[in-house]
Amino acid sequence: MNSTAMRTHMCGELRDAHIGSTVSLCGWVARRREHGEKLAFVDLRDHSGIVQCVVDNDVDVRSEYVIRVTGVVRARPEGTVNANLPTGTVEIGDCQVEVLNIAEPPPFPVDQRADEVDEGIRLRYRYLDIRRERMQKNLRVRALVNSAIRREMESNGFLEVETPLLMPSTPEGAREFLVPSRKEPGSFFALPQSPQLWKQLLMVSGIDRYYQIAKCLRDEDLRADRQYEFMQLDAEMSFVSQDDVLENIGRAVVAAAKAVTGEEPPTIQRITWLEAMNRFGVDKPDMRFGMELVELTHVFSGTEFKAFAGAESIKGIRVDAKVYPDAAASGRNKLDALTDRAKKVGAKGLVWIKVGPDGTVESPIAKFLSEDEIRSLVTAMEAQSGDLVLIVADNWDTTCEVLGTLRNDIGRPPVHEGPYAYVWVTEFPLFVGVDPVSGTPRPGHHPFCHPHPDDISLFDTDPLKVRALAYDLVLNGWELGSGSIRIHEPELQRRVFNLLGISDEEADKRFGFFLQPFRYGAPPHGGFAFGIDRLTAILAGEENIREVIAFPKTQSGADPMTSAPTPVENSHLAELGLRLLPPPATS
C-alpha cells in the first residue's frame, strides 16, 4: 500500500518474514556509525520507524540527509539484535545508496532528546520537530480520532455541512477575532467562535442531523488546553431530548477513544452541576480520585467559634494519610502555603485539623470547639489517624471554589494518567450572577439555551435559580465540550433576551438574520461540540494540546516559525479604512 516508484516498503515495517527480499527504502538518516574500516551502520528513518542499513564506509551520508537505499533484508548477527526496535531482528545489507538531498546539521537532535529542548526552538523549527517519533505518533492519533468520529457520526445519520468562517459578531462569551471589510470600510466580519447560529439554522432548514469537524477561533489567553485556533466536533439534532444528544455524542467519543486505545472506555457517568459543585467544588470534576467535599454546616450549627458562627456554608476535604502519607505530617510551612493558596482563590482563611489516634485532633482552633463538634467532625469526614482535614467557612460559592481548587492542587494526577473518567455534567444554571453595571443576569452558556421546563415560572421571581437544559462533557478534569437543548420558540427567545437586557430592537438588529427564520417553523433541537485537540491530547498521553497540533502558537500567542503576528504596510491599512493608534506612553 505504501510502495511507490521510489520505494517498495516503509522502514518500520520490515520483519523476519522479509528476510531474503530485496527492498528499496526512502527516508532520513537518523544516525551514522562507523563499523570498522570498510563498513558503516546507517539508521534510516521514515514516519513508520527506523531500520539499520549496512553501507560501505566511503558512502558520505550525514544526519538528516534524504536518501534511497536498495538492499537485501537479512537477519542481524547473533548478539546484535536490538529489542528496543520493532525492526531490531533484521538489517539491510548489500546496500546501494542514492543521496536524494543533503541537509545542514539540525538545530536540535531529531529524536526523543528534543523533548528537553526549549519549546520556542522546537516551534521555530516545527517542520523538524514533526519528524520525531513522538510528534508523528500524536498527529496520527489525531487522524484516528477524526476518522473514528466521522464514521460514527455518518453511521448514525449525521450529514457533514461546512459553515462560513466570515460571519457577524455574536455574543458567545469569548472575545472574537475581527476581520475588516475592504468593501464596507468601518464594518467587520467576525471569525467564528463556533458554528452555533449556522447549525441551528440548518435545523430550521430541515437537515435534521448535522455535524462538522469545525475550525473555531477565540481571542482568549492561551494555556495548556487552549489555543486561538481549535478544532471541535460540532453537531446538532432535530426532534430530540437531552438524552438523545448525550447518547449520540457519547458514541462518537467512545468510538474515538476505542480507535486509539483499542479498548472500550468505561460508561460515561452523569451528575448534575449542583452535585458536581457540592462534591468536587468545580463544574469540570476530575473523578479519578476521592477527596470529595463534605458539607459541615450542620456540625457547627450552634458553634461558639466566631469564624464558623453564622457562615452560609462550611465545607471540608479530607487528605488521606494512606494515599498522601506526608499530609498529616506536613510542617507548618506546607500548611501556611495551603492557607496562602486558599486566600488567593478567595477565602478569608483556611482551617486545618490533624487527626490523631482515637479521634483526637491537633489544630489552632481545637480549643474553640466542643467535644461533640470534634467527634461529629471526625465522623462526618470519616477521618482516620494521620489524616488532614481542611475547612473553609464562607458563602457557598467561595467554599466550593476554594476547596475545589485545593482538592485539585493536592490530589489531581496528570490529565493523561490513570483510568479515563468521563462524566456528563447536566442542569447548569441558565444565568450566572448579575452584571454590576446593568443589573441584568449574565448567561451561563449562551443566550440560546432552553430553560428547564420546571423552572420557567422562576423567570420573573428568581432567575438565578433557573436551570438550563445545558450539559458539559468532562474527561479527567478537562472540559471536552458543552451543548444544550436550544430555544426554538421565538417568544421564549425574546423573553430570555429581554431578561439579559437585550431589547426587541437590539435583538432584531444583532440577531435578525437568526430570529426571523424561527418564525417559519423551527423544530425542537439540541446539539453539542467537543474539542478534538483536548480529547486527542489525553488519548495521546500529553499534558498540552500544543503537542497534538501540527503548527500551534506559543503561550504568548506568537508563531516562532513565521514570526506572526506581524505588522502590515500602511497602504494595506488604508485600503481597509484603518489607521493605527500611537502606542501607549510608557512611564
- pLDDT for res 444: 87
Residues 140 and 267 in one domain: yes
Residue 407 lies in a domain: yes
Over 60: is that where the pLDDT of 167 sits?
Answer: yes
- List the alpha helices (DSSP H) in 357-440: 371-381, 396-411
Distance CA 493, CA 128 (A): 51
Which residues neighbour 526 within 8 Å (Cβ) at sequence distance 6 or greater? 236, 237, 240, 241, 242, 244, 245, 450, 469, 483, 484, 485, 486
Number of domains in the chain: 3
Residues 487 and 508 in one domain: yes
Residue 114 lies in a domain: no
Average pLDDT of 150-154?
A: 98
- pLDDT for res 330: 55
347 and 398 Cβ atoms separated by less than 8 Å: yes
Distance CA 211, CA 126 (A): 31
Confidence of residue 358 (pLDDT cuts 50, 70, 90): confident
Name which residue leads in pLDDT, 328 or 387.
387
- pLDDT for res 92: 98
What secondary structure letter does DSSP report for 478? E
What secondary structure letter does DSSP report for 523? P
Over 70: is that where the pLDDT of 587 sits?
Answer: no
Per-residue pLDDT tens digits for 373-415: 999 999 999 999 989 999 999 999 999 999 999 999 999 999 9
Residues 406 and 437 in one domain: no
Q: Supply the range of the domain harboring residue 377.
A: 290-411
- pLDDT for res 516: 87
Residues 144 and 265 in one domain: yes
- pLDDT for res 445: 82
Residues 526 and 440 in one domain: yes
Tell me which residue has cell 448525550: 246
Where residue 96 sits, what CATH number does that domain have? Answer: 2.40.50.140
DSSP β-bridge partners for residue 555? none
Residue 571 lies in a domain: no
Distance CA 342, CA 409 (A): 11
The pTM of this model reads: 0.90
523 and 204 Cβ atoms separated by less than 8 Å: yes
123 and 557 Cβ atoms separated by less than 8 Å: no
What secondary structure letter does DSSP report for 196? H
- List the alpha helices (DSSP H) in 526-565: 532-540
Residue 279 lies in a domain: no
Over 70: is that where the pLDDT of 176 sits?
Answer: yes
Residues 262 and 140 in one domain: yes
Residues 305 and 392 in one domain: yes
325 and 458 Cβ atoms separated by less than 8 Å: no
Residue 556 lies in a domain: no
Distance CA 426, CA 68 (A): 57
Residues 397 and 305 in one domain: yes
66 and 25 Cβ atoms separated by less than 8 Å: no
Residue 553 lies in a domain: no
Average pLDDT of 237-259?
A: 97
Domain final residue, candidates 81, 101, 121: 101
- Categorise residue 206: left if φ over 0, alpha if ψ from -120 to 50, beta otherwise: left
Domain final residue, candidates 411, 436, 463: 411
Residues 533 and 452 in one domain: yes
Where residue 404 sits, what CATH number does that domain have? Answer: 3.30.1360.30
Over 60: is that where the pLDDT of 131 sits?
Answer: yes
Residues 361 and 387 in one domain: yes
Average pLDDT of 25-31?
A: 97
Average pLDDT of 182-211?
A: 94
Over 60: is that where the pLDDT of 328 sits?
Answer: no
- pLDDT for res 423: 98
Residue 516 lies in a domain: yes
Residues 480 and 522 in one domain: yes
Residue 582 lies in a domain: no
Residues 400 and 432 in one domain: no
Type of residue found at 121: I
Confidence of residue 512 (pLDDT cuts 50, 70, 90): confident
Domain final residue, candidates 381, 411, 441: 411
Over 60: is that where the pLDDT of 172 sits?
Answer: no
Where residue 256 sits, what CATH number does that domain have? Answer: 3.30.930.10
The pairing of strands 209-217 and 159-160 is parallel
Cell of 74: 537479512
- pLDDT for res 170: 73
- pLDDT for res 1: 62
Average pLDDT of 424-438?
A: 91
